[in-house]
Amino acid sequence: MTASALSFTIAQREAAARAGILTLPHGTVETPMFMPVGTAATVKGLTPEQVRGIGTQILLGNTYHLALRPGDELIAELGGLHRFMGWDGPILTDSGGFQVFSLADARQISDQGVRFKSHIDGSPLELTPERAVAIQQNLGSDIAMVLDECPPGNAEVGIIRNAVQRSIRWAERCQQYHTRRDQALFAIVQGGTNLDLRVECAEPLVAMNFPGYALGGFSVGESPEAMHAALPECAALLPEQKPRYLMGVGRPVDLLAGIAAGIDLFDCVMPTRSGRNALAFTADGTIRLRNACHRRDPAPIESDCPCYCCTHFSRAYLHHLFAADEMLGPTLLSLHNLAHYLRLMVEARAAIRTGGFARFHAARLARYEGRN
């Protein structure tokens, strides 16, 4: 990888929190930043224009799912993932490592790699470190991830240690195989909430000098309190001058804890999945739009939210859409939830730049917890 594939500058710090600029082949990303998840080359229910309009600067795609359908070679033939999905901004693709955890009943794992039974038709998919890299190179994402083994949060120490050692070996194979110069390859540090295992994983990966680093294996069964307690020390294991990515996390309070610990990038399906299930995020907690109390409520989800949903529609209308099983309901609520997450990032960056993040963090926690 050449230096032009990625550059990262930290513009301002407040304690461990930092605000920066990540420059990638398809554009720049202000950090900290939340990445909407586009599993199958789409953020479910939303057009690229809608996603861009709420402030999205980078999307996430899924290696496992895109390899199965429509196939990474077809996407490459059609000009790469950016052209295929009509998104001209940066894209990060995961490696399939999370599916090692989430599809545990449909896969077999060995030192060579992972053999999946497709959740679509039962056909086999073998994902080795080399194959995971090859798929992502075909997709043409700006950031690719190494293949790793993500164990459950409540796994025994021996199981987590085996996953750590396998993830290190796989990262080395990914790095040796990766050749695309306009794509940055990130390593993934595993180890659960056990700091000793995180150190055991981070030290050799840092020595390999990847362009960026991620913390995997969080929000996979451990308590939020355990995750929040572990994050500062785990983040501190990663190189200070390189981007740090917390994978698959999570709620707004978790994002704030990650930012306070020095994390730069986040992703999670929670805002769009919750939107499809009539759950809205607000600065004062969540709202369940299916509840009967909203049937006559003329207020928007959030009065100060500038998103299309909040500036045009009432809670009563959204309640109606979900009661009538209209597809516009999930679309509008997904749009709002992502806008809420992205606005949280904007406000966090501004607070860091002015030295007020600690106050901002405390005030937002108080509102989320109903102490305002």
Positions marked active-site: 94, 267
Q: How far apart (Å, rounded) are the C-alpha atoms in residues 175 and 177?
A: 5
- DSSP 8-state class, residue 76: H
Structure tokens at 65: 């799912």
Residue identified by tokens 């083994």 is 149
8 A C-beta contact, residue 255 and residue 341: yes
Structure tokens at 308: 């299309």
Instruction: Give the list of residues 6+ apart from residue 63 with CB closer than 8 angstroms, or none.
Output: 72, 93, 94, 95, 96, 127, 132, 135, 136, 139, 145
> What residues pair up with 27 in beta bridges, in sequence order?
24
Task: Render 231-300 in DSSP notation, one character per residue.
Answer: HHHHHHTS-TTS-EEETTB-SHHHHHHHHHHT--EEE-SHHHHHHHTTEEEETTEEEETTSGGGTT--S-
Structure tokens at 337: 């939830």
Burial of 226 (0-12, 13-18, 19+ CB in 10 A): middle
Q: How far apart (Å, rounded) are the C-alpha atoms in residues 146 and 205?
A: 11
8 A C-beta contact, residue 11 and residue 23: no
C-alpha distance across the termini of the chain, in Å: 49
- DSSP 8-state class, residue 104: G
